[in-house]
Amino acid sequence: MVLEAHPGVAAILKTRDPLGPHSLALAEALLAPMQAAGFPDRQAGLAFSLLVDYTVGFAISSTPTSVNEQRVRDAAIRGQLHEFFRSLPPDRFPALVALGEHVWVDNRDERFTAGLQVLVDGLEHARRSPHRPALGERPTTTTTTTRTTRRREDAQQAVAG
């Protein structure tokens, strides 16, 4: 990721004017494919903001110099950390005992790519789904009422056994 090569730039991006020539070129590069893919105008605008916020937020929140990133990049320390999770009382921390070594790993690029893919897949699903409100729109009262009614009926059936 370009922001990785220049620590601190992501934080500066959030304070800069988004109407400069480079920012406009980036916005065009992201918006044009969304428009070509058939995203409605409002959805394209929201999708653009989500993608930019995710990318900049990821770069800011988990810098290579953070304590956790340094910890997982060192194989020996990472091994000690995994051993620590396995040594926790399993009756109190069953998820950490089982999954700790899969969470505290040196997989920054994989996490970014996986998160971005989930976000893009969700945006594409929202664009194609005729049964959901459009991205950024609230469900209609009928939809909310129907969901509430279904939940009530499900609860009544569960109690009736």
Which burial class, exposed, middle or buried, applies to 44 when counting CB atoms under 10 A from its CB (0-12, 13-18, 19+)? buried
Distance of CA 31 to the CA centre of its chain: 19
Q: What is the distance between the alpha carbons of residues 147 and 136, in angstroms, rounded to a whole number?
A: 19
pLDDT tens, position by position, 58-104: 887 766 667 777 888 889 999 999 999 999 999 999 999 999 999 88
Q: How far apart are CA 102 and CA 86, in angstroms?
A: 12
Distance CA 31, CA 27 (A): 6
Is residue 127's pLDDT more than 90?
A: no
Rg (CA), the chain: 22
pLDDT value at residue 148: 57
Read off the pLDDT of residues 12-46 as tens digits, 9 standing for 90 and up.
Answer: 666 666 788 888 898 999 999 999 988 999 999 99
Per DSSP, 89 falls in state -
Residue 26: partners with Cβ closer than 8 Å, 6 or more residues away: none
